[in-house]
């Protein structure tokens, strides 16, 4: 009995235990067949093979390869994406054009554009959702990730010549326990166009989470409000910053750039668009974009 136990123990030691599976890194471009960026293209994340995906029948699954080209067992499926929008975005070239000149879009009627990536190793991930609408810089898509630790992002504007958070992509962080990440663009039941150019998913350590605490919208007073509403925000470092008001359809209706030192600041919004025309009572979103690539959003309510 004793000898058998020793033999079994030796066998266990000689075989050992399997190494823990490593978290996957995936790049996905939504668009026409053959239009994906080159493997050397990193966008705002990491280089690697780009999976090319068009419009899928709802919940139909397609296999994904890792950034190094290896099959992973990971599958992607979608609901709410109905067509590919193709527009030649001014100023884009080569791989930038391959990513942002086409977009998987839907109309939030009622479902927003929903993408699920299933079969991932449970871990903490950074998720980049590219959502620059080709041909319509006034339209912002609201990006979010299920069970994320960061806030939804409003993404849109003119192509800035390079990838910038809040203009070409939203940055999200999530720790998954069921092998699945759910990504979304738009507002459920919003009856508006929204979409996704592509996504990058890569593992991250807890210390790598983006810091939204130093640069953020602190509040809106009064909220709800009828006349002037005071938007208070803080900057982590001295920076150029743009304060934007976005309507529920995702359009940027008011924009004001500033240059500020680090610390607390405020700006007054009088319920008008950039041209000075009064806007209707509704839900709006404040978006704060700083030059050092941090975006923060806050909801406000406008009354008659």
Q: Give me the CATH number covering residue 147.
A: 2.60.120.430
Query: What is the pLDDT, as a whole number, of residue 297?
Result: 72
pLDDT band (50, 70, 90) for residue 299 = confident
Judge if 83 and 133 occupy the same domain: yes
Taking only the tens place, the pLDDT of each residue in 129-160 is 999 999 888 888 889 999 886 778 888 888 98
Q: In the structure, what pLDDT confidence band is assigned to residue 232 with cuts at 50, 70 and 90?
A: confident
Can you give the CATH number for the domain in which 290 is found?
2.60.40.4070
Would you say residue 166 has pLDDT above 70? yes
pLDDT at site 214: 62
Residue where one domain finishes, among candidates 150, 182, 208: 208
Both tokens assigned to 268: 């007054």
- If you average pLDDT over each of 14-28, 50-64, 109-123, 210-224, which comes out highest? 50-64
Which pLDDT value is given to residue 114? 95
Percent of the chain at pLDDT > 70 equals 87
Q: Are residues 103 and 228 in the same domain?
A: no
In the chain, % of residues over pLDDT 90: 41
Residue 195 and residue 50 share a domain? yes
Residue 62 to residue 64: CA distance in whole angstroms: 7
* Claim to verify: residue 143 and residue 221 sit in the same structural domain: no
In a shared domain, residues 39 and 133: yes
Element of type H or E holding 117:
strand 113-118
Residue 17: pLDDT above 80? no
Indicate the pLDDT class of residue 63, thresholds 50, 70 and 90: very high
Rounded to the nearest integer, the mean pLDDT of the chain is 83
Rounded to the nearest angstrom, the gap between the alpha carbon of residue 77 and the centroid of all alpha carbons in its chain is 17
Residue 209 exposed, middle or buried by CB count within 10 Å (0-12, 13-18, 19+): middle
Residue 282 belongs to some domain of the structure: yes
Using the predicted structure, report yes or no on whether residue 196 has a pLDDT greater than 90. Answer: yes
63: Cβ contacts below 8 Å, ≥ 6 apart = 71, 72, 73, 74, 75
Q: Within this chain, do residues 196 and 54 fall inside the same structural domain, yes or no?
A: yes
Nearest one of 222, 221, 230, 240 to 291, comparing CA atoms: 240
Where among 208, 229, 255 does a domain terminate?
A: 208
8 A C-beta contact, residue 25 and residue 124: no
269 lies in some domain: yes
The closest alpha carbon to 117, from 70, 174, 165, belongs to 174
1 assigned to some structural domain: no
Structural domain boundaries enclosing 112 = 26-208
Q: Is 3 within the bounds of a domain?
A: no
Residue 2 lies in a domain: no
Structural domain count, the chain: 2
The DSSP annotation for 160-215 comes to: -SS--BTTTEEEEEEE-SSSEEEEEES-TT--S-EEESEEEEEE--GGGS---SSS
Is there a single domain that holds both residue 63 and residue 194? yes
pLDDT value, residue 187: 81
**Range name among 98-102, 175-179, 288-292 with the lowest pLDDT average:** 288-292
* pLDDT for res 185: 93
Is residue 16 domain-resident? no
């Amino acid at each position: 009995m004793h000898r058998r136990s020793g033999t079994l123990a030796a066998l266990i030691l000689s075989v050992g235990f399997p190494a823990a599976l490593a978290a996957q890194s995936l790049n996905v471009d939504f668009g026409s067949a053959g239009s994906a960026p080159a493997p050397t293209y990193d966008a705002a994340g990491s280089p690697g093979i780009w999976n090319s995906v068009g419009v899928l029948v709802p919940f139909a699954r397609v296999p994904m390869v890792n950034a190094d080209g290896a099959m992973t067992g990971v599958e992607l499926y979608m609901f709410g994406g109905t067509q590919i929008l193709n527009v030649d975005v001014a100023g884009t070239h080569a791989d930038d054009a391959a990513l942002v000149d086409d977009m998987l879009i839907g109309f939030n009627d009622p479902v927003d554009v929903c993408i699920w990536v299933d079969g991932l190793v449970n871990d903490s991930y950074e998720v980049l959702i590219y959502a620059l609408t080709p041909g319509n810089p006034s339209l912002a898509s609201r990006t979010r990730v299920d069970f994320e630790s960061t806030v939804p992002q409003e993404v849109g504007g003119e192509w800035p010549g390079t990838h910038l958070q809040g203009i070409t992509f939203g940055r999200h962080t999530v720790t998954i326990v069921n092998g699945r990440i759910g990504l979304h663009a738009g507002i459920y039941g919003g009856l508006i166009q929204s979409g996704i150019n592509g996504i990058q998913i890569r593992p991250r350590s807890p210390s790598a989470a983006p810091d939204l605490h130093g640069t953020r919208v602190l509040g809106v007073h009064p909220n709800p409000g009828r006349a002037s509403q005071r938007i208070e925000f803080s900057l982590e470092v001295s920076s150029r910053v743009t304060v934007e008001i976005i309507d529920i359809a995702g359009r940027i209706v008011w924009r004001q750039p500033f240059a500020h030192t680090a610390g607390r600041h405020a700006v007054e919004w009088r319920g008008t668009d950039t041209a000075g025309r009064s806007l209707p009572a509704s839900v709006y979103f404040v978006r704060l974009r700083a030059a050092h690539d941090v975006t923060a959003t806050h909801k406000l309510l406008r009354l008659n």
